[in-house]
Structure 1
Amino acid sequence: MKLSISAVLLLGAALAVPAAAQPSNPDDRAASTLSRMTEDEKLGMLMGYLTPRVPEDQIPENVPTGAGFVPGVPRLGIPALAESDASLGIANMGGFMRRNDEATAMPSALLMASTWNPSLIEQAGRVMGAETRAKGFNVLLAGGVNLIREPRNGRNFEYFSEDPLLSGVLAGYSVRGIQSNHVVSTVKHYLLNAQETGRSFADVRMDEPEMRESDLLAFQLAHEIGQPGAVMCSYNKVNSKYACENPFILNDVLRGDWGFKGWVLSDWGAVHSVSIRQGLDQESGRTYDERKTAYFGTPLREALASGSVTQADIDRSVTRILRTIYALGLADDPVKPGNPIDFDQHLDLAQKVAEQGIVLLKNEGNLLPVAANAKRILVVGAHADKGVPQGGGSSQVWPVGGASLRLPIPGEPVYHTRLYMPSSPLDELKKQFPQATIDFDDGTDPARAAKAAGDADIAIVFADQFTAEGHDVPLNLPDNQDALIEAVADANPRTAVVLETGGPVLMPWLDKVPAVVAAWYSGNRGGHAIARVLSGQVNPSGHLAVTFPASVSQLPNPTLPGAAMIDQAKGRDLYDLPEEEQTLEITYPEGSNVGYRWYAQKGFKPLFAFGHGLSYTQFAFETPKVSGKTAEVAVRNTGDRAGATAVQLYLVSRNGKTERRLVGFQRVDLAPGGSQTVKLDIEPRLLAEWENGGWSQPPGTYGFAVGKSAEQLGRTVTVRLPARTWKD
């Protein structure tokens, strides 16, 4: 007999075992609870539901509307799992899911990564975890670890970087911060989900060594540092098998090699079979639409009855979920919806992240900071009079203070609404420069904006690009903004450009513009942060976590994989194509040499290199002292104002072969004239290759250099290192 969710919740009248009688070890405790569960209770924990699509009388009490929920077992003290998107705060797409329920909108993950500051990202995680609890959720679908292989990917703003070390470390610290609140954080989207085009059926082909040395390494580092309670498998295939039924990446690597003890849940709608034996523990996002198969519903019960799935398979997956619930305190310290949130403190932290992650890309003639005696300033474009943009899709947060502007996208559902955060750069600049006349032009008429710019001491053009889940984007700025920038720059040589984008963009106007700032999606108080950087109250210290290409011809795949399919769809949803036409094989010619490594390998000069970032002061780096396991680097602030930089240590050669791998990094803050010796731990797996089922470091001469970016390197130091092999 098939039971409803309500019946599962009410099944049995036994009281929960008193806390004093419970085993203290989460493994023992999970085993004890499992022994007292009915079969229906066990199976109920393996199916997640999409909350907005489930009848209200079927939703457990106190489970808020979010991404989904999984029924608990009240009689045994097992809480329901209430799940919220995503990595940038407590998502509430368009403000419609929970009518105008506000949360702190963190800056994009790409901006977070540009801080190169793990401890700050852990603090941001603590804020997000605290708000997760306060809003009644105990699972946050955060931890976007995917490497930025495809700069046109519409979800790049949710991911940290193109580098496995930087991505893995920062994701791990973010997860650690979130889970400190006794909530679960996922890491996602496992694995090789690098573009949105064809994501539900794309087949990504890559050899094991290339995966181990890049994307898998990023997830491995995030797992080691953050110990996430759950891993979300992705929509796409990996080497012809869907990620959510891929025993190699789920069983062999994740659990076998890394010892992952949590559970694997699917992305919403990413399940294609009863794949519990292949490594999936929980199907997410059932909608009660009987036309769509819920594989972990009736088909799983039938497989259990036929013997193709065993009781041991069911018990193993339930145990993984239970163990995580106990290990992270979800049962002992359950969430209490409605607890007060210190939004002022959280907004201060979001602003601090934005200020550290904004990157000064170019500053010829020290145009920035804006002169304190400027009398006339023109601000142009990108709704800078209203606020700063945010990305779209499942990570979209309804900000504290409400969206200052909501723009529909023709033909798109509400969750792809364009939102602007209530922090106007124009208003904040007026506070910074009360003595100046500051005018605004919306930028819709380049000729009008150029005419206004001619009378200004400085023109600041804001340019934005909306990116979102479900769509990939060209690298060109939309809406004729390139022409706008060029027109303003022609009229006023003292023009600065502020880019508010989800990733890299091309800049055909770069030679005409003396100053460029990458402000990304800067979050709830982004306008405050941008104005403080432009005025000089904050010294910019961000460094790029992604390469800006000079042209699409430099990309490993100059043509976006699946672009022909988009043309074939002719305006229809790509996923409405006949199933036999939903075949997209993707290869990445760069292999493990993602991003800046590809540029170094090919000898390409990017527009702006990974790691690049200017300051209003200057820094000098001594030649590093390298042992092979650690490096010491003396850094000095040679300018006249306090500032921060990112010390970046690269492997640049091995036995005469040119390499380019970030092997260690640390942010350092220095007073004017101050100095500090920074000690870096070198990640050993970045000195090695994956061979014969393990890591292999060949003997020989290794060259290291400190860089101001992956392209601007200092003197090379060589050391002799012995051979070494090891398993994970």
Structure 2
Amino acid sequence: MSMNRALKPVLAVGLCAGSLLCYAVTAQAAEGWRNPSLSPDERARLLVQELTLDERIGLLHGPMALSFPGGPPLPAGSVGGAGFIPGVPRLGIPALTETDASLGITNPGNVRPGDTATALPASIALAASFNAPLAYQGGVMIGREAAARGFNVLLAGGANLARDPRNGRNFEYLGEDPLLAGVLAGESIRGIQDQNIISTVKHFSLNGQETGRFHANSVIDEAAHRESDLLAFQIAIERGQPGSVMCAYNLVNGAYSCGNDHLLNKVLKGDWGYKGWVMSDWGAVHATDYALKGLDQQSGEQLDEQVWFGEPLKQAVAAGTIPETRLSDMAQRILRSMFAAGLFDGKPVKPEIDAAAHAAIAKQVADEGIVLLANAKGLLPLSPAVRTIAVIGGHADSGVLSGAGSSQVTATGGNARVVPVGGEGPQAMWGRQVFHPSSPLKALRAVLPDASITFNDGRYPAAAAAAAAQADIAIIFANQWMAEALDAYDLSLPQGQDALIDAVTAANPNSIVVLQTGGPVLMPWLDKVGGVIAAWYSGQKGGEAIADVLTGRVNPSGRLPQTFPASLDQFPRADLPGWGLPAKQQFDVVYDEGADVGYRLFAARDMKPLFPFGHGLSYTSFAYDKLRVRGGDTLTVSFEVSNTGAVAGKDAPQVYLADAAGTPLRRLIGFDKVELAPGEHRTVTVKADPRLLGHFDEAANKWQIKGGSYTVVVGPSAGVDSLSAKARVRAQRLKP
């Protein structure tokens, strides 16, 4: 302890002896950073002063907590998982134990032998629910399961927009709209952090494809970036207050994301006033001077060329090329998030896990995320009179497909089936199709005990067609396996499944297709089938959810969070940038569509998609009425939703801006999820985030909202306007 620090309590007593108020002040001064009544910022400021130089640097880098053949054992005190940052025992600073957790607690390489966890459906399914409270519940569930295993940092909160439907990680993200993605990511993060767990938001920013992901340079105009991908992150951060932001692998406008001064210092920490810390993605650090450019922590250091934030950082501080004040800021940001999450203050014992309750949350996400895309022949829900059903393909006898990569969860009950895909390189370990143990075939047999239900694996289309010809109904499961580090080549169903569907529907036109995909696919057979549902990757209870939707035990309420195109040519880049280039060669991905992502681009170019953003059918019908729009500094929209059908159901009404002071456009400015009995009606009110009404003025570095008349439409999707009204909005400028 320094002399000055030791004298502070003594001097305080001498200056105001005998005063009760002074006694309280003296006690607080003596307690310092341990005082829970102080703000996380003040406690972190006080604590960082107690750290030696080596202790500060120790907080700024760490390894993966995984064991490799011939490599070192797991770090002492770690929990096997994605990462580990040692603590400072002499000051009671806990270690950071990190796990991938977008869709549940992962167990990479079975590092925790036999450990399984509740597998949530893919994030794209959560996005399809249009249900913000459900996102929060999923976050709570993952947070509790993390705490039970001793983790305190979850690498969750994927908020990247789906700019290219071939992106291998779109299933981990929340669709193409910044409001939908930002709100649901923020609510999931908030649910996690309410369990005294730190969550990230990732991958910041424009991590729009997996092809050449370490060398792709995302090029975009600043205003367009602010109005699209950055706005999704900004909304997620405002709602969820994540303790950390994970930067991405790719470059953004010529600078690597994790060493991007503009992105990290100017936008995130400057304009947005973000107080937490920026951690790197695993293997995304290329230099020590990233510390000056806004990066606070090097993660998964074994994957980088060297431990840049170890000895090289210490030498840079000694040489004065990186100020010691910046080093302290880096450590203080980490400590601040740890205090904010309650990691110091009597964190409760590991919670007991109610596996059934957690499985029920996964089931609800699947129930509300499944989208009924088409039902032209009215085959759904399946009639009780159906006596014979042929279930075909998709490994539906075993389980439901999941996406691959670092988010892969070993579901409760273990893997039902693993089908090797093959491949080379560091990502080859993910080259396998994993099926969660929830068989749609078994679930259908359970809910339709009087029907004869057969299964054909679909390997031979002629054999599948013969089986379908003998049944009242054929249900074809079609899979598109998507994976981290691997984009889809196109939007066809792989391995000849389109031909399989053609053969089966020719034999039995009463055929239903169940899509298990990570995003949109083309449907050249659409006019031949009786119905189509998008089940995505449906998680722990996916088989039961699919069976319940097919039979009407659950009324489908999912809505598309991504536009399904009629052709890949409707997207800005028909050829995937970087495909076929030599390894390590940088290339540009030019986002010249700007902020017009997905349905916004379809509206701007007057293109007709196969299915529009927000689309989804129900077994009942809904009507909208009594629209009222109030203007002012923003738009407040209220309207009535009525269930005009014969059965109970959930609707996801959507509010779009159609004209802004004379400029036609299409922007989602509000949504809700309502459950209604037949004949019931309810008033929905949404207040628009004013940023969605305006544009970003780069020169002024502010949001600008023009004064004038604004047109609002309400409907069931971005392609259908049920109601329309106008109101006037005042001109204003808002901070960035």
Q: Same fold (TM over 0.5)?
A: yes
Q: How far 1:515 moved relative to its partner?
A: 0.3
Distance 2:704 2:269 in 1: 21
Q: What is aligned with 1:678? A: 684
Distance 1:58 1:334 in 2: 24
Judging changes above 3 Å, is the alpha-carbon distance between structure 1 residues 180 and 280 closer, same or farther for their aligned structure 2 residues? same
Match of 1:600 among 581, 598, 603: 603
8 A Cα contact 1:250 1:279, kept in partner: yes
Counterpart of 1:323? 336
1:387-398 superposed matches below 5 A: 387-398=399-410
Structure 1 CA distance, aligned partners of 2:518 and 2:399?
Answer: 16
Q: Deviations over 1:31-76 (max 9, x none)?
A: 2211211111110000021111586666132x21100100100111
**Structure-2 separation of matches of 1:217 and 1:657:** 20
Shift of 1:657: 2.9
2:176 maps to 1:162: yes
From 629, 639, 644, the counterpart of 1:626: 629
Give the alignment of 1:82-101 within 5 angstroms. 82-93=97-108, 96-101=110-115
Kept after mapping to 2: 8 A contact 1:264/1:279? yes
Cα distance in 2 between the residues matched to 1:266 and 1:218: 19
Determine the structure 2 residue equivalent to 1:340: 352
C-alpha distance 335-46 of structure 1, shift in aligned 2 (>3 A):
farther
For the structure 1 residues 499 and 222, does the alpha-carbon distance in structure 2 shift closer, same or farther, using more than 3 Å as the test? same
Instruction: Provide Cα deviations, 1:459-495, integer angstroms capped at 9, x if missing partner.
Output: 0000011101000002111111000111111111110
Shift of 1:656: 3.4
Determine if contact 1:380/1:460 at 8 Å carries over to the other structure: yes
Q: Distance in 2 between matches of 1:448 and 1:333?
A: 63
Say whether the 8 Å CA contact 1:45–1:318 is kept in structure 2: yes
The question of 1:260 aligning with 2:274 is answered yes
Shift of 1:664: 0.6
What letter corresponds to residue 145 of structure 1 in structure 2?
A
Residue identity in the other structure for 1:611: G
Q: Please say if 1:66 is aligned against 2:94.
A: no
Instruction: State the distance in 1 between where 2:36 and 2:620 align.
Output: 58
Shift of 1:423: 0.4
CA contact (8 A) 2:33 2:42 kept: no
1:186 CA displacement:
0.2
Question: Which of the residues 497, 507, 512 maps onto 1:491?
Answer: 507
What does residue 700 of structure 1 align with? 708
**Cα offset for 1:102?**
0.3
Q: SS of 1:704's equivalent?
A: strand
* 1-structure distance, mates of 2:543, 2:81: 28
**2:649 partner amino acid:** G
Aligned counterpart for 2:130 among listed residues 82, 107, 116: 116
Cα separation, 2, equivalents of 1:592 and 1:110: 20
Aligned counterpart, 1:8: none
Q: TM-score, normalised by structure 2?
A: 0.92
SS in 1 for 2:84: strand
Structure 1 residue ranges without an equivalent (≥5): 1-15, 570-576
1:531–1:472 CA distance, 2 compared to 1 (3 A):
same
Task: Give the aligned partner of residue 372 of structure 1.
Answer: 384
Question: Which residues of structure 2 form unaligned runs of 5+?
Answer: 1-29
Structure 1 residues 615 and 316, CA gap change in structure 2 (3 angstroms)? same
Cα distance in structure 2, aligned partners of 1:630 and 1:641: 31
Q: What aligned pairs does 1:266-665 form with structure 2 within 5 A after superposition?
A: 266-274=280-288, 275-287=290-302, 292-334=305-347, 339-412=351-424, 413-473=428-488, 474-565=490-581, 569=582, 577=583, 579=584, 582-622=585-625, 624-628=627-631, 629-665=635-671
Contact 1:17 1:76 in 2 (8 A): no
- Render the CA deviation track for 1:86-143: whole Å, top value 9, x for unaligned: 21010124x5232231000000000001010000110000000000111111000000
Distance 1:719 1:334 in 2: 50
* Contact 1:482–1:508 (8 Å) recurs in 2: yes
Residues 104 and 119, structure 2, Cα contact 8 Å, conserved in 1: yes
Taking a change above 3 Å as real, the CA distance of residues 141 and 333 of structure 1, as seen in their structure-2 partners, is farther
SS state of the match for residue 284, structure 1? coil
Q: Are 2:81 and 2:98, in contact at CA under 8 Å, matched by a contact in 1?
A: yes
Q: Does the CA-based 8 Å contact 1:624-1:705 persist in structure 2? A: no
Task: Give % identity.
Answer: 51
Secondary structure at the counterpart of residue 361 of structure 1: strand
What is residue 727 of structure 1 aligned with on the other side? 735
State the SS of the aligned residue for 1:48. coil
Residue deviations 1:202-244 (CA, integer Å, cap 9, x gap): 1111111000100010000001100000000001111101111
Deviation at residue 417 of structure 1 after TM alignment: 2.5
Helix, strand or coil for the counterpart of 1:652? strand
Report the residue type matching 2:445 in the other structure. Answer: K
Secondary structure of 1:599's aligned partner: helix
Contact 1:355 1:529 in 2 (8 A): yes
Query: Offset of 1:23 from its aligned partner?
Result: 5.7
2:252 and 2:341 map into 1 onto residues whose CA distance is 31
RMSD across aligned positions (CA): 1.6
Report the Cα distance in structure 2 between the residues aligned to 1:58 and 1:373, rounded to whole angstroms: 59
CA distance in structure 1 between the aligned counterparts of 2:35 and 2:568, rounded to whole angstroms: 63
CA deviation string 1:383-440 (max 9, x = no partner): 0000001000000000000010011121253333221010000000001110010000
Aligned in 2, Cα 1:707/1:325: closer, same or farther, shift over 3 Å? same
Q: Point out the more displaced range, 340-349 or 168-177.
A: 340-349
Q: Look up the SS of the partner of 1:496 in the other structure.
A: strand
Counterpart Cα distance in 1 of 2:382 and 2:36:
63
The answer to whether residue 38 in structure 2 is matched with residue 35 in structure 1 is no
Report the alpha carbon displacement of residue 161 of structure 1 after superposing the two structures with TM.
Answer: 1.0
Q: Is the contact made by 2:259 and 2:293 (CA closer than 8 Å) also made in structure 1? A: yes
| Cα 1:635–1:556 shift into 2, 3 Å | same
Alignment equivalent of 1:688, drawn from 684, 694, 711: 694
The code of the aligned residue for 1:659 comes to L
Aligned match of 1:78 in 93, 109, 115? 93
8 Å contact 1:136–1:336 — kept in the other structure?
no
- Residues 339-387 of structure 1: per-residue CA shift (max 9 Å, x gap): 5321111001100110011000000131101111211011000000000
Does the 8 A contact of 2:276 with 2:333 survive in 1? yes
Q: Deviations over 1:518-543 (max 9, x none)?
A: 00000011001000000100000000
* 1:548–1:609 contact (8 Å) kept in structure 2: yes
Asked if 2 retains the 8 angstrom alpha-carbon contact of 1:702 and 1:720, the reply is yes
Counterpart Cα distance in 2 of 1:303 and 1:127: 43
Distance 2:204 2:223 in 1: 17
Mean CA deviation greater in 292-301 or 271-280: 292-301
Count of aligned pairs:
695
Secondary structure in 1 matching 2:300: strand
Say if 1:113 and 1:166, in contact at 8 Å, map to a contact too: yes
Is the CA contact 2:123–2:173 (under 8 Å) kept in the aligned structure 1? yes
AA at the equivalent of 1:231: V
Q: Is the 8 A contact 2:654 2:715 kept in 1?
A: yes
The equivalent of 1:666 in structure 2 is: 672
Contact 1:399/1:421 (8 A) holds in 2: yes
Q: Aligned equivalents of 1:697 and 1:234: distance in 2? A: 31
Shift of 1:323: 0.7
SS of equivalent residue, structure 2 residue 692: helix
**Would you say the 8 A contact 1:100–1:398 is kept in 2?**
no
How far has the Cα of 1:718 moved from its partner? 1.7
Bigger mean CA offset, 701-710 vs 535-544: 701-710
Q: Could you tell me whether the CA contact under 8 Å between 1:547 and 1:610 is conserved in 2?
A: yes
Contact 2:32 2:46 in 1 (8 A): no
Counterpart code for 1:704: V
